[in-house]
Amino acid sequence: MRAAAPQQSPEWRVNPRPERSVRGADLTTLGIGGEIKNLLRPRCEEELVSMLRGLNPGEGPFCVIGGGSNVLMTDDAFDAPLVLTTAMNGVEVERRGSGTVLVRCGAGVRLADLFAMTLEEGWGGLEFASGIPGTVGGAVMGNAGTLHGETGQAVRSVRMIGAGGAVRDFSGGGIEWGYRSCGLADEFYGVVSEVTFSFRELEKEAVLEKARRSADSRRNQPRGRMTAGCVFRNPPGGSAGRLLELAGCKGLSSGGAAVSEVHANFIENPGGATARDFARLALICRDRVLELFGVRLQFEIRTLGISLGD
């Protein structure tokens, strides 16, 4: 999977030049975000290591973005170094005995593409992933999943690159997987470089049927709209979407942002919404649920350069 690094000058490798004046709105599924002043877009692990080594400590800690599917980015200029992993998209397949298949993916591989590959080949382990956007790196860090399964269940190993280019490998079985969370963020501050998944060779129709059942359970989510996915995590034993709907949040709006009429745990950007609009509306919804049910919903989306309160 690790293709030869693109030919670059030695000077570039020592002092990688970031991209300038990229809009965050162009990198997120919500379509919101101001100017990114220091974007790093590595195409392979070697470039990622070189870029992180070349960062000036005075610029502050770097941030990471993949498919931008659960991200709310500030409307203002974003000054911190931002690593975009989408160009790290190589895939390597290794078949083992007893029907085991190992698939090593660059962090920027789209989860939807990997899901489609497993369906085509009849590999079990990712059937729950129908309709989940983003990249495998983001799916690992957020342990993306549904009621039918989670990413961590299929992870064999994860490689991360930290500040200064430090490299660490983690076994999937040694990672503390939680609900929409992953212990890697607490253990090592860095960028996912590659993920190795372990799948099972099964009858193709059995894999397809399981994937269909998972997809059917998610048909009530808004499609073809600009959103950041679910805004809130489900509380223990409950449904954030159900609480928000009972609190009358469907259809609420603030500025250019509006709560989906299809599913109350999604906030849409019909066009022209700002991060401030989104944040204001999300807090209104959270306060309604707290007042009516005494449940303080926790945010599932990530924020870059903007606060959603405590």
Q: What burial letters (b/e) apply to 275-308, b meaning 16+ CB within 10 Å?
A: bbbbbebbeebbebbeeeeebebebbbbbbbbeb
Catalytic-residue membership of 182: no
**Rounded Cα gap, residues 48 and 40, in angstroms:** 8
Separation of first and last alpha carbons in the chain: 41
Measured CA angle at 150 (ends 269, 282), to 5 deg: 25
- pLDDT at residue number 4: 38
**Residue of 180, 218, 225, 280 with catalytic role:** 180
Q: Where in the chain is the domain with CATH 3.30.43.10?
A: 10-84
Instruction: Give the 3-state secondary structure of residue 126.
Output: coil
Q: Note the CATH architecture for domain 10-84.
A: 2-Layer Sandwich (3.30)
**Rounded Cα gap, residues 158 and 131, in angstroms:** 23
**Residue of 230, 249, 285, 288 with catalytic role:** 230
Q: Do you know the residue count of the chain?
A: 310
- Asked if 285 and 293 touch (Cβ cutoff 8 Å), the reply is no
The CATH code of the domain at 240-304 is 3.90.78.10
- pLDDT at residue number 10: 36
Q: Is 236 exposed, middle or buried (0-12, 13-18, 19+ CB in 10 A)?
A: exposed
By DSSP bridging, strand 71-73 and strand 302-304 are parallel
- pLDDT at residue number 2: 43
Q: Which two tokens stand for residue 157?
A: 């190993």
- pLDDT at residue number 81: 93
**Residue of 46, 150, 268, 300 with catalytic role:** 300
- pLDDT at residue number 13: 41
Catalytic-residue membership of 296: no
Q: Where in the chain is the domain with CATH 3.30.465.10?
A: 91-216
**Rounded Cα gap, residues 201 and 37, in angstroms:** 45
- pLDDT at residue number 187: 85
Catalytic-residue membership of 13: no
pLDDT tens for the chain, 310 residues long, are 443 333 333 333 444 566 777 999 999 999 999 999 999 999 999 999 999 998 877 666 899 999 999 999 999 999 999 999 999 999 999 998 889 999 999 999 999 999 999 999 999 999 999 989 999 999 999 999 988 899 999 999 999 999 889 999 999 999 999 999 999 988 899 999 999 999 999 999 999 999 998 888 777 888 889 999 999 999 999 999 999 999 999 999 999 999 999 999 999 999 999 999 999 999 999 999 999 999 999 999 999 999 887 6
Residue 13 carries which side chain, given as an amino acid letter?
R
The closest alpha carbon to 17, from 67, 61, 81, 109, belongs to 81
Q: What is the pTM for the complete model shown?
A: 0.89
Q: Note the CATH architecture for domain 91-216.
A: 2-Layer Sandwich (3.30)
